[in-house]
Structure 1
Amino acid sequence: MTSDAPLDPIAALPLVHPLDLPVDTPWLDWVAARGDQQLTATRALVDQLKAEAPRDALTVLHRWNEAQTALSNAGSVGALFSEVHPDQAVRERAEALVQDVQKLDTDLGLDPDLYAVFERLSGDGLDLDAQRVLERTLRDFRRSGVDRDEATRNRLRELNERAVQLSQEFSKNVRQDVRSIRVRPEQLAGLPRDWVQAHPVEPDGLVTVTTDYPDVVPFRTFAHDAQARRDLVTQAQTVAWPANDAVLQGLFAVRREIAGLLGFDTWADYDAEVKMIGTGAAIGDFVERIAELSATSAERDKQLLVERLRRDRPDATDIDSPDVTYYAELVRKEDLAVDAQLVRTFFPFEQVRQGLLDVTGALFGLDWQRVDDAATWHDDVATYDVAFGGECIGRIHLDLHPRDGKFKHAAQFDLVRGVAGSQLAEGVLVCNLSRGLLEHDEVVTLFHEFGHLVHHVLAGRGDWVRFSGVATEWDFVEAPSQMLEEWAWDPDVLATFARNAEGETIPADLVQAMRRANDFGKGYDARTQMFYAALSYDFHVHQTDDLTVRLRELMGRYSAFPYVAGTHMHCSFGHLDGYSSGYYTYMWSLVIAKDMFSAFDPANLLDLEVAGAYRDKVLVPGGRQDAADLVEDFLGREYTFDAYAAWLAQ
């Protein structure tokens, strides 16, 4: 469906201000008050809507929009601060808020009186955006089970509340279970000097290495000691085990029952109904297609790893994850002439952060203005107002370093979803990056996640909260971020900010070599992704008594590498929670990202005409159109597998 309303990203709007975060008020009180106020507003608006029951469809939809905005505001505060606030009491209060939001959302979706208000509405006379809101709202009610009998509705309510509790328990177990190994100083051989300096020898003569990203990524990449690498990888892949094994079994059971009560064969079928892919069975087909496309490339590059491993261990017949990253780095260094330790000298954190802002500002016509006196939840957080055409259109917060109790991965969180004339879009980028020199992989991650933040702000100026921000189908949301990664590989782009301590700009030939080296392993990386996708799909389609046994079976079928004895990576695989059966979406999005990127001239990635068209046709609309229509509008044709297949075959 195509909207008939113009998408003018610089149209004048009433002045709205960023959210007032607490300065003098204790954070615990502020989170509680913000949540309670927004939930109270939601209930009042819904009660008014049911009591008055206006016949005019547009009036109903606008009041519903206000209620959904308030509910979103409460949910955003809960979801963010349950994961990032340094005070455990605040995190726990935010977790309770998430439960309250989900309970109210479930209650609204199962309220037959509220459903009746919408069911009798006609879309006649509504513009296309309002028609889309009405259609999606009615679909939401159907998918919630509002048309089922009272006993079924009550059971669905119980199950949804239980699902939220299990989800929070899963995340908490991952956050709190930071494991470590202790090694002798000589076992740090191979690691960068600054990393070693940041890990002092303790009084007993040993060094602690944790499973947090800034420790585990460099260690498994550079540490010469094979047993120490294996010990750390094993610890990293047993985080939250055995606790989360039982949590996942409970979560899968809840989802199976919900799907069955709503008339779906599996949770994957239920989940896929509102995605681009359409059906659960299509997920399995997609996994098989990518596995087949990547098989030749995967086997070719794996054999290079095994050959390099045999130079150190002549009797080796295979290679597994504790050795893969280390030997892939050796192949890139020795055969492809890329030394990651040299590369990282060009990426001091502060330069990378500023460079990212400069590049995306130029590309999308945005101005990032540092707000030094902004209230934040931690001293690490940097805040920027976002201007477009001289007008403030949003605010972002960058929370980029690890700390105890914080979310362990990388993601963009909403703080406020933008609504025209009502509230300014605010987003938070949460990462766990090193404070000194960054690995180039960390630079790529930063570009990727920042893509979500740009999408959130640019798509936060419409009338309907439902379409605000990253509101497209879930299997498209990664595509814009995956495409932005390409700018982190371009010599001209990197030359604008990648400089070493002597002020030397990263050489273009080194960047080109990095790109060639990065292409090494893309086949077996794709197979790994398909293993993850198969895992998330299979666990939601088939009841599995022993998750680790099934994990080993799927790994044997899809991954290029064997299972590591004693590990249970599913217990910390956060996507089993958030993405449920839909981990395939990363690769699905990558297929589309490669196709969209084909519209850009590789020799001039800062071409503002193409970038502007992409911004206005793909990012600005948010959820106002189906993702396939957004892409077709930008490319002038339907998307295809061609660009992805060509890249994989190189």
Structure 2
Amino acid sequence: MTQDALAPLALPAVDDRDGWRALLETRSTGGLEAARALADGLRALEPGDPDALQRWNDLFVELSNAFAVCSLLAQVHPHAPLREAAEASEQELHRFRTALLLDASVFERLAAVPTEGLDDGARRVLADALRDFRRSGVDRDETTRARLTELSERASDLAQTFSRNIRDGAAVTRVPAAALTGLPADYVAAHPADAEGRVAITTDYPDTHPFLAFSTDREARHAVARTFFTLAPDNDAVLRELFDVRHERATTLGFPGWPDLDAEVKMIGTGEAIGEFVDRIAADALAASDRDVAVLLERARRDHPELEQVDVADSRHYGELVRREQYDVDAQAVREYFDFTRVRQGLLEVTGRLFGLTYTAVPDAPTWHEEVSVHDVSLDGQLLGRIYLDLHPRPGKYNHAAQFDLVSGVAGRQLPEGVLVCNVGRGRMEHSEVVTLFHEFGHLMHHVLAGRHPWVRFSGVATEWDFVEAPSQMLEEWAWDADVLATFATDDAGTPIPAALVERMRAAEEFGKGYYARTQMFYAAVSYQFHRDRPADLGARLHELSQEYAAFAALPGTHFHTGFGHLGGYTSAYYTYMWSLVIAKDLFSAFDADDLLAPDVATRYRDTVLAAGGSKDAADLVADFLGRPYDARAFRAWLEG
């Protein structure tokens, strides 16, 4: 069957709750039943039967389909009972996968597969499968396997609770209407005052971030920041247990701790190397960070002479003032060039031109919410897959930015379908939101372009976890290029954003890269050290790490960690964002900075890195593209420049 002959997954109408429940049941319960039957078939094979590997692939196609629908609906569907049902189904799937990877009979059938005659892809799939079995503890005694099952299921439950508490913990700060002084007119219009003369500022990004940047009311800024940094207080206890459970699982498997188990299958290799990387980047960024923070403090003292340091409630505001006054970049003026509708269309046109893709709007395609837009993606006239853009905040929705799978592409079997989930404004956008869209769209491109492998193991963003951000971070560069922005960033009169303004914006952004890197290393240190040390008082340890790594002071009484969603999925590996950035800077060095839309390099990158998915180690993919192993020269030049 050709790719063009495949059809996208049929979704129910937006208001058809019974239809959505039926879809969830079909993909989760139906997929689980199919996976169980395939596992039974694997056990029934004679040892050495080469068909075992294909059945393993079939089994994981079913699991992938089930997990994708459950995970997505749990985070985006407007109907809370359906989200809860999806979460419950997801737990059932986790329990099955845990038991499967501890099943000695299935392991034995795969271990007995003869490797003679297997191609490189099949050998890689087999090696990865056997490694996953051993990392799950399949070769341990029955008592140990039983305990590992309990730990895995409990960790899954806790991670889901942690994510749910953040998603459902959205809060509101009510501040005087006068605190909107300094905010753009469209923001003010969207926040009418109540009978008491107060306005509601939610913890959604399009509400909180502009307020912290533009409000001239320092007291109100601090109130909004305190709310933002105290989300989901119940997560403190959830995290402490989660760290303990992960640690016990790792030590039961013979690792010193969770970071070592987690790092074994990543480019970085060991938990100790994570700590060394975090400290090295933090040290490299210290001089630039101190220099730039001093500029912010000097500016802040003009308004508040008593200030001794810049805190997280003031950093965004004074960063904005410095950029406006010293770099002649007024973020409110910049917003006039970033109307959401034009940005969304421009994103499609730029990436289409860059990667040779055609996007066809499917306005009548059913979705889970009326604001979701749908596009089919084609390459050279061949249908590759389908993308869904769910870009605005709403109650009960995942409140960060991420790409979710709906369907993993498998050659000749099913088209890749991906979902971009963001929380950007519906009208004028911050340029930082534009950058976020480009970043997350990079994941979406990776998912769709790498959806043509026969092995589901290689489909989409299936590389080592500390590489997956690199393609997305590199795509951010296109959101900073004047020629690229001029194709869609126009004011209401149709005038493109001036190149001189983009140059000043870039200079202003470069101003803060030192404290950006320090902030990222603070997050990475929290992620790593919380898992390594499992402190009894997470809040106290957070404060210590803030003082050691962060560029800006935390607000007393806040608990950033309880709303730090990456502790659920990324676990001890938040370092991966900066690790990937090192690689992204090197990848970008191969492009012509004077013509970012030149097709030759982009096509080679598309086919060598993105379309390859997980079929090779990430270091090999990068070397294939660059013609050499990656290095940190471009990153250091950026950081020191």
Q: Could you tell me the TM-score, scaled by structure 1's length?
A: 0.97
Once residues 142 and 267 of structure 1 are traced to their aligned partners in structure 2, the CA distance between those partners, rounded to angstroms, is 16
Q: Which runs of 5+ in 2 are unaligned?
A: none
Please tell me whether the aligned partners of residues 400 and 430 of structure 1 are also in contact (alpha carbons under 8 angstroms).
yes
Pairing partner for 1:499 from 485, 490, 496? 490
Pairing partner for 2:505 from 490, 514, 532? 514
Letter in 2 for 1:151: T
Q: CA deviation at 1:29?
A: 2.6
Q: CA deviation at 1:54?
A: 6.0
Please tell me whether the aligned partners of residues 4 and 383 of structure 2 are also in contact (alpha carbons under 8 angstroms).
no
Q: Which moved more, 1:444-453 or 1:179-188?
A: 179-188
Q: Which moved more, 1:22-31 or 1:311-320?
A: 22-31
Q: CA deviation at 1:282?
A: 0.3
* SS at 2:573 equivalent: coil
Letter in 2 for 1:442: E
* SS at 1:617 equivalent: helix
Could you say which residue in structure 2 is the equivalent of 1:112? 104
Once residues 467 and 98 of structure 2 are traced to their aligned partners in structure 1, the CA distance between those partners, rounded to angstroms, is 25
* CA displacement, residues 170-214 of structure 1 (integer Å, 9 cap, x when unaligned): 111111111121122211100000000001111222111111111
Once residues 294 and 13 of structure 1 are traced to their aligned partners in structure 2, the CA distance between those partners, rounded to angstroms, is 47
Could you say which residue in structure 1 is the equivalent of 2:406? 415
Letter in 1 for 2:459: S
* SS at 1:541 equivalent: helix
* Residues 1:442 and 2:433 aligned together: yes
Please tell me whether the aligned partners of residues 45 and 52 of structure 2 are also in contact (alpha carbons under 8 angstroms).
no
Once residues 371 and 150 of structure 2 are traced to their aligned partners in structure 1, the CA distance between those partners, rounded to angstroms, is 39
Q: CA deviation at 1:52?
A: 2.4
* CA displacement, residues 72-117 of structure 1 (integer Å, 9 cap, x when unaligned): 1100111111000000011001001110110110010000111110
Once residues 299 and 568 of structure 2 are traced to their aligned partners in structure 1, the CA distance between those partners, rounded to angstroms, is 37
Alignment of structure 1 residues 314-393 onto 2, 5 Å = 314-393=305-384
* Residues 1:631 and 2:631 aligned together: no
Q: Which runs of 5+ in 1 are unaligned?
A: 1-10
* Residues 1:17 and 2:7 aligned together: yes
* Residues 1:161 and 2:153 aligned together: yes
* CA displacement, residues 270-329 of structure 1 (integer Å, 9 cap, x when unaligned): 000000000000001100110111011001100000110111112222111100000000
Alignment of structure 1 residues 517-528 onto 2, 5 Å = 517-528=508-519
Could you say which residue in structure 2 is the equivalent of 1:44? 37
Pairing partner for 1:96 from 88, 91, 95? 88
Once residues 46 and 598 of structure 2 are traced to their aligned partners in structure 1, the CA distance between those partners, rounded to angstroms, is 51
Please tell me whether the aligned partners of residues 14 and 421 of structure 1 are also in contact (alpha carbons under 8 angstroms).
no
Could you say which residue in structure 2 is the equivalent of 1:281? 272
Alignment of structure 1 residues 167-206 onto 2, 5 Å = 167-206=159-198
Once residues 22 and 14 of structure 1 are traced to their aligned partners in structure 2, the CA distance between those partners, rounded to angstroms, is 22
Once residues 235 and 179 of structure 1 are traced to their aligned partners in structure 2, the CA distance between those partners, rounded to angstroms, is 7
Q: CA deviation at 1:136?
A: 0.4
Please tell me whether the aligned partners of residues 337 and 497 of structure 2 are also in contact (alpha carbons under 8 angstroms).
yes
Alignment of structure 1 residues 218-617 onto 2, 5 Å = 218-241=210-233, 243-617=234-608
Could you say which residue in structure 2 is the equivalent of 1:81? 73
Could you say which residue in structure 1 is the equivalent of 2:209? 217
Please tell me whether the aligned partners of residues 68 and 465 of structure 1 are also in contact (alpha carbons under 8 angstroms).
yes
Q: CA deviation at 1:149?
A: 0.5
Once residues 185 and 556 of structure 1 are traced to their aligned partners in structure 2, the CA distance between those partners, rounded to angstroms, is 34
Once residues 249 and 543 of structure 1 are traced to their aligned partners in structure 2, the CA distance between those partners, rounded to angstroms, is 7
Pairing partner for 2:144 from 146, 152, 156? 152
Q: CA deviation at 1:429?
A: 0.4
* SS at 1:321 equivalent: coil
Please tell me whether the aligned partners of residues 214 and 432 of structure 1 are also in contact (alpha carbons under 8 angstroms).
yes
Please tell me whether the aligned partners of residues 53 and 113 of structure 2 are also in contact (alpha carbons under 8 angstroms).
no
Pairing partner for 1:33 from 26, 37, 42? 26
Could you say which residue in structure 2 is the equivalent of 1:8? none
* SS at 2:5 equivalent: coil
Letter in 2 for 1:345: E
Q: CA deviation at 1:22?
A: 1.6
Please tell me whether the aligned partners of residues 338 and 514 of structure 1 are also in contact (alpha carbons under 8 angstroms).
yes
Q: CA deviation at 1:461?
A: 0.5
Please tell me whether the aligned partners of residues 378 and 385 of structure 2 are also in contact (alpha carbons under 8 angstroms).
yes
Note the aligned Cα RMSD (angstroms).
1.0
* CA displacement, residues 485-535 of structure 1 (integer Å, 9 cap, x when unaligned): 000000000000001112111000000110011111100110010011011
Could you say which residue in structure 2 is the equivalent of 1:4? none
Which aligned segments of 4 or more residues in structure 1 are displaced greater than 3 angstroms? 11-14
Could you say which residue in structure 1 is the equivalent of 2:114? 122
Q: CA deviation at 1:395?
A: 0.3
Q: CA deviation at 1:562?
A: 1.9
Please tell me whether the aligned partners of residues 74 and 87 of structure 2 are also in contact (alpha carbons under 8 angstroms).
yes
* CA displacement, residues 17-36 of structure 1 (integer Å, 9 cap, x when unaligned): 10011236531232122211
* CA displacement, residues 419-474 of structure 1 (integer Å, 9 cap, x when unaligned): 00001000000000100000000000000000000000000001100010000000
Once residues 248 and 364 of structure 1 are traced to their aligned partners in structure 2, the CA distance between those partners, rounded to angstroms, is 41
Q: CA deviation at 1:37?
A: 1.0
* SS at 2:115 equivalent: coil
Letter in 1 for 2:610: L
* SS at 1:554 equivalent: helix
Pairing partner for 1:207 from 199, 204, 213? 199
* SS at 1:526 equivalent: helix
Q: CA deviation at 1:267?
A: 0.2
* CA displacement, residues 218-245 of structure 1 (integer Å, 9 cap, x when unaligned): 000000000100010011000001x000
Once residues 345 and 566 of structure 1 are traced to their aligned partners in structure 2, the CA distance between those partners, rounded to angstroms, is 37
Please tell me whether the aligned partners of residues 47 and 112 of structure 2 are also in contact (alpha carbons under 8 angstroms).
no
Once residues 607 and 297 of structure 2 are traced to their aligned partners in structure 1, the CA distance between those partners, rounded to angstroms, is 47
Q: Which moved more, 1:472-481 or 1:515-524?
A: 515-524
Q: CA deviation at 1:139?
A: 0.2
Q: CA deviation at 1:14?
A: 6.6
Please tell me whether the aligned partners of residues 351 and 497 of structure 1 are also in contact (alpha carbons under 8 angstroms).
yes
